[in-house]
A and B are shown apart, each in its own frame.
Chain A
């Protein structure tokens, strides 16, 4: 795959891993349902690609090290830490960021519930929390509190103590249960 060749080139770069002009690599991804082709530094993380190249600033950076989970996006529906992934490695995958969730339409039930239950304080963790919730609902018929805790435990929140986030998630899953 040409992706690997490009990566090799990046590794060969001595300058402290910093790439030169010649090292642009072409990347083709699908983000929020939109195909995107760009020439980037091979070392560009998916997070940097999303925030800086595409200007989708809903995805947050908290550490760039894989510690905080604030940069969570969905890769083929699964939450991943976009700071730990190269944009090149996301090629041929479908990526959903918070902007792609509603596309300007109505709020997702998870968002509705977080709004109503006061699960948003500073909101810096909210985009990641929402995506965690979306994945939880997609994969669990009737998640219990433990499953909810697990679903959000990869993303830090310093404001809420998670209490109201859990509450909001629980409310949605109950609704969901009721509908079934």
Chain B
């Protein structure tokens, strides 16, 4: 059957308003800080004013006696370290012995009111022995006797070096018509989500903790709390209430979560802890400051003959997702074009600055800017159309990249062609008046990581579905709706398979006590993985209902089609799809000859049964109906070091054609029109898909033109929304979205990634358009007016 024709679906492919949107609009949706626990203690955290210092002593005696104070804790109260990656658990909830960045937690006070907590904080006396900090990449690379993390036993501050090489890059450069090499630099960024990090802990009589946290990853928080506090998992329940944006900034377990839980255990009182905006900037785990040296060889006939990138990324004081980031800086260059000869080296450097981690487009964003700029320059030099060149050299479907990514569906060619037509590319490129420009750039992104962070064979997503005589289908999933609409997409799966209106589906999600294990919301995995799990659970449920329907109609059960064949290596790693086992990577038919629609169940012979009647029949002697579905990635990938990084069961592809207006007198760049083609497979909910793309463009626009964290002596200079400016409605360009016909056989109803992939290629499309407008190339983000003006002046001088 063709999944492309989404018209045949009832719910899939329809612009369905997000679940919970009504509550958010009326103010009844409860975010973490909106929960009112009984008599909570309020917590304030004392943070380091120095980027690097020994903690000589911490005197909390006065603070302890201060009005309303119930407990004061320091690093020694939570000595166990943690980190989202099991291979770099290098962070403690509060500093012990040494502080490593300005803003690092040192002590925490729990008091009857926020005012009491703040007052007590001032009474804590800390003696520091200030050390010489490592403030940037260059300093971090230098030999030293006192590295930030001596436990790594290195004589520098390199946290991780990732390298890979495929084919013969040097030969590739030799065989190129043109070879270009340039240096690029990128500032660190903050996610800028609107809801600050927040956690509340409810403690019950038997020391059971319910932790409400604004997190993308309840499962990891659950694991970390148990390990750090040394209490068994079953004594902790993590719930994510409504969440005000994450973008990667809430995808680690955080110090404040450990602090709140410890204080609850110590005081046996409920705890409330919400960070101030400034603290959010310190805690952020934002995009790494990055330096890139990249070299690209190109031959119009052969394509990109070689690509070589050297990346240095500033990780800040701790690990976070950094090891993954280091690899992503390289491996996410392996598409969307064929590149046989490819090499990268990426070093992540520890510095005495706030920790960097995952942010939308994780690790792939900055190198993409470099490679797409170089590609544009090469095409310019060879006087070939950069769109035409790209059209020739996209990855093909069902192919392998040099580093053995398994490329399944690809519809980007169609997408870019459409974007060219819609934007009038052919009539505009290199033909617009001075000051106006048009540029192109493309990218690709993972739909979740095939390799889980914790190496085990537990499915990455499991969903459970229950159904009783009310007809309400309840889907339980550990996936975390962070505002992207993951609950909605799961409900759509159920609604579609069971033919129910959205109003008859309830989603219970992101609650570690009620929901089956799911890795959480990061790396654009939810629609694909949790979606597959929910879809499979729904299919199981449907079979139960079909059986009951057959009993009512006194007919035989229909033969079920083979769920799929273990096709070539593209599918399943020779694994036969299997509904029963739950690990089901492919997207097999569930056809049974019945039709489920509008609460009716219609047999192949057109006999109509009422849905509720069938449910009741199925419940006879069974009770409430239950079904379970799982998703476990098929085996894939190479055996080289880091082969698992960037490995995904499917990839999205994006093409941007962007038009800008550059004022040559002021250097101000205005992005006027963006044509965005995104291959997300079958768009399950166009409204949500568009929203993700528009949001990605907003965030890219911020990075390319205005955003950046500034540091002086390790102190953030713009840790507020006043000084860290994100784009306003006035900057947001006109956007035309193209969703090319596409179908991912392994995605649920043909879907793949949409949340992150579009950000990376947007940035270079702007830079390439600026070049088309005023003939200057900018290599350092953000591209602020002063830089543009400077470049224009230099250009003019050259001409004179």
Q: CB within 8 Å of B: which residues of A?
A: 15-16, 18-19, 41, 55-68, 70, 97-99, 101-102, 107, 111, 114-118, 120-127, 130, 148-149, 152-153, 156-166
In the bound complex, what is the Cα–Cα distance between A141 and B680 (angstroms)? Answer: 40
User: Which of B21, B194, B484, B690 has most chain A Cβ within 10 Å?
Assistant: B194
User: Which of B244, B247, B277, B722 has most chain A Cβ within 10 Å?
Assistant: B244
The answer to whether B732 and A59 have CB atoms under 8 Å apart is no
Contact flags (1/0) for B165-194 with A, using CB distance below 8 Å? 000000000000000000000000001111
With A18-B115, A118-B688, A118-B691: A127-B25 Cβ-Cβ less than 8 Å: yes
B623 within 8 A of A: no
Which residue of B18, B21, B730 contacts A153 across the interface (Cβ within 8 Å)?
B730
With A124-B194, A158-B191, A160-B691: A98-B277 Cβ-Cβ less than 8 Å: no
Measured between beta carbons, the chain B residues less than 8 angstroms from A162 are: 698, 728-729, 732
Q: List 24 A-B contacts (CB under 8 A).
A: A18-B115, A41-B115, A57-B27, A62-B195, A67-B277, A111-B25, A118-B688, A118-B690, A121-B483, A122-B24, A122-B193, A123-B29, A126-B24, A126-B25, A127-B24, A127-B25, A152-B729, A157-B194, A158-B695, A158-B726, A160-B694, A161-B697, A161-B699, A164-B687
The answer to whether A62 and B721 have CB atoms under 8 Å apart is yes
In the bound complex, what is the Cα–Cα distance between A64 and B695 (angstroms)? Answer: 25
Chief secondary structure at chain A's binding surface? loop
Contact flags (1/0) for B360-382 with A, using CB distance below 8 Å? 00000000000000000000000
The answer to whether B25 and A115 have CB atoms under 8 Å apart is yes
With A111-B25, A121-B483: A62-B30 Cβ-Cβ less than 8 Å: no
B22 within 8 A of A: yes
The answer to whether A159 and B115 have CB atoms under 8 Å apart is no
Chain B residues 681 to 701 lying within 8 A of chain A, measured CB to CB, are 687-688, 690-691, 694-695, 697-699, 701
CB nearest neighbor in A for B26 = A102
Measured between beta carbons, the chain A residues less than 8 angstroms from B194 are: 60, 62, 68, 70, 122, 124-125, 156-159
The answer to whether A58 and B192 have CB atoms under 8 Å apart is no
B126 within 8 A of A: no
Which residue of A120, A127, A158 contacts B699 across the interface (Cβ within 8 Å)?
A158
CB nearest neighbor in A for B20 = A123
The answer to whether B31 and A161 have CB atoms under 8 Å apart is no
Measured between beta carbons, the chain B residues less than 8 angstroms from A118 are: 15, 17-18, 687-688, 690-691
In the bound complex, what is the Cα–Cα distance between A39 and B463 (angstroms)? Answer: 50
B41 within 8 A of A: no
B388 within 8 A of A: no
The answer to whether A120 and B25 have CB atoms under 8 Å apart is yes
Measured between beta carbons, the chain A residues less than 8 angstroms from B482 are: 122
B196 within 8 A of A: yes
> Which 5 A/B pairs are nearest by Cβ-Cβ distance?
A58-B27, A122-B483, A123-B24, A124-B244, A161-B698
The answer to whether B722 and A164 have CB atoms under 8 Å apart is no
Measured between beta carbons, the chain A residues less than 8 angstroms from B276 are: 63-64
In the bound complex, what is the Cα–Cα distance between A158 and B243 (angstroms)? Answer: 13
B516 within 8 A of A: no
Contact flags (1/0) for B88-114 with A, using CB distance below 8 Å? 000000000000000000000000000
Measured between beta carbons, the chain A residues less than 8 angstroms from B18 are: 118, 120-121
Question: A149: shortest Cβ distance to chain B, in Å?
Answer: 4
Question: B146: shortest Cβ distance to chain A, in Å?
Answer: 37
In the bound complex, what is the Cα–Cα distance between A15 and B120 (angstroms)? Answer: 11
Measured between beta carbons, the chain B residues less than 8 angstroms from A125 are: 194
Measured between beta carbons, the chain B residues less than 8 angstroms from A99 are: 26-28
Chain B residues 243 to 295 lying within 8 A of chain A, measured CB to CB, are 243-245, 247, 274, 276-277
The answer to whether B721 and A107 have CB atoms under 8 Å apart is no
Contact flags (1/0) for B27-63 with A, using CB distance below 8 Å? 1111101101000000000000000000000000000
Question: B241: shortest Cβ distance to chain A, in Å?
Answer: 11
Question: A145: shortest Cβ distance to chain B, in Å?
Answer: 9
CB nearest neighbor in B for A120 = B21
B82 within 8 A of A: no
Which residue of A16, A66, A127 contacts B119 across the interface (Cβ within 8 Å)?
A16
B328 within 8 A of A: no
Which residue of A123, A152, A163 contacts B735 across the interface (Cβ within 8 Å)?
A163
Question: B58: shortest Cβ distance to chain A, in Å?
Answer: 21
CB nearest neighbor in A for B688 = A118
Question: B706: shortest Cβ distance to chain A, in Å?
Answer: 14
The answer to whether B27 and A127 have CB atoms under 8 Å apart is yes
Which residue of A16, A41, A58, A158 contacts B245 across the interface (Cβ within 8 Å)?
A158
The answer to whether A55 and B33 have CB atoms under 8 Å apart is no
Measured between beta carbons, the chain A residues less than 8 angstroms from B31 are: 57, 60, 124
The answer to whether B27 and A59 have CB atoms under 8 Å apart is yes
In the bound complex, what is the Cα–Cα distance between A19 and B116 (angstroms)? Answer: 10
Which residue of A15, A57, A65 contacts B34 across the interface (Cβ within 8 Å)?
A57
With A107-B22, A107-B25, A162-B729: A67-B695 Cβ-Cβ less than 8 Å: no
The answer to whether B26 and A121 have CB atoms under 8 Å apart is no
The answer to whether B28 and A123 have CB atoms under 8 Å apart is no
Question: B697: shortest Cβ distance to chain A, in Å?
Answer: 6
B485 within 8 A of A: yes
The answer to whether B21 and A98 have CB atoms under 8 Å apart is no
In the bound complex, what is the Cα–Cα distance between A113 and B694 (angstroms)? Answer: 18
The answer to whether B195 and A60 have CB atoms under 8 Å apart is yes
The answer to whether B26 and A111 have CB atoms under 8 Å apart is yes
User: Which of B119, B193, B247, B697 has most chain A Cβ within 10 Å?
Assistant: B193
In the bound complex, what is the Cα–Cα distance between A149 and B729 (angstroms)? Answer: 6
B228 within 8 A of A: no
Question: B313: shortest Cβ distance to chain A, in Å?
Answer: 23
